[in-house]
Structures are given as C-alpha cells and as structure tokens.
C-alpha cells in the first residue's frame, strides 16, 4: 500500500492479530483501531505513525501492511 502523510487509514484486524507485535503485547485491541479512521502523521521505513483523532488515545506505530485506506 503506497501511503503518505495525511492519508486516512484503518487497521486490518487479521493482519494485526496475527502479527509479531500482537504476540509481544496485550492482544485485547480496542475497537476504534478497526472501526474508526486514523491519520498517518509520520512514516519511517515499513511503519506509519497513526493518530486516531475521534477518541482521546495515544498515537501508535503500525506496519504498513497492517493498514488499509479508510473508505
């Protein structure tokens, strides 16, 4: 997925739940990750820093393959 800063995305549940990152942390992911849109605020290598603005939550680094365009 080719993305740039400012793009609106959401997390693909299947790709996040089966990832190495999920195995290394709490797997009870909040629903807003999958249901609301997040904005890409930074890119570094294979990762995007995503801000979910509708709810008061911390920004999160996610792999690009775990994201899809929000439609």
Question: What's the mean per-residue pLDDT of the chain?
Answer: 89
d(CA 28, CA 33): 11
Whether residue 51 is contained in a domain is answered as yes
Whether residue 2 is contained in a domain is answered as no
Say what the pLDDT of residue 36 is: 87
Q: What is the pLDDT of residues 39-53, one digit of tens each?
A: 999 999 999 999 997
- Stretches in the chain below the pLDDT threshold 70: 1, 54-55
Number of other CB atoms surrounding residue 48 within 10 Å: 25
Say what the pLDDT of residue 3 is: 87
Whether residue 54 is contained in a domain is answered as yes
Whether residue 1 is contained in a domain is answered as no
Among the listed residues 35, 45, 28, the one whose alpha carbon sits nearest the alpha carbon of residue 12: 35
d(CA 52, CA 36): 7
Domain that holds residue 42: 8-69
Whether residue 14 is contained in a domain is answered as yes
In terms of Cβ atoms closer than 10 Å to its own Cβ (0-12, 13-18, 19+), residue 5 is exposed
Say what the pLDDT of residue 21 is: 80
Whether residue 3 is contained in a domain is answered as no
How many domains does one find in the chain? Answer: 1
């Amino acid at each position: 997925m080719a993305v740039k800063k400012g793009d609106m995305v959401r997390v693909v549940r299947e790709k996040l739940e089966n990832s190495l990152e999920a195995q290394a942390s709490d797997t009870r992911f909040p629903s807003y990750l999958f249901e609301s849109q997040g904005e890409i605020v930074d890119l570094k290598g294979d990762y995007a820093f995503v801000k979910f603005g509708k709810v008061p939550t911390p920004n999160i680094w996610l792999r690009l393959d775990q994201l899809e365009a929000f439609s």
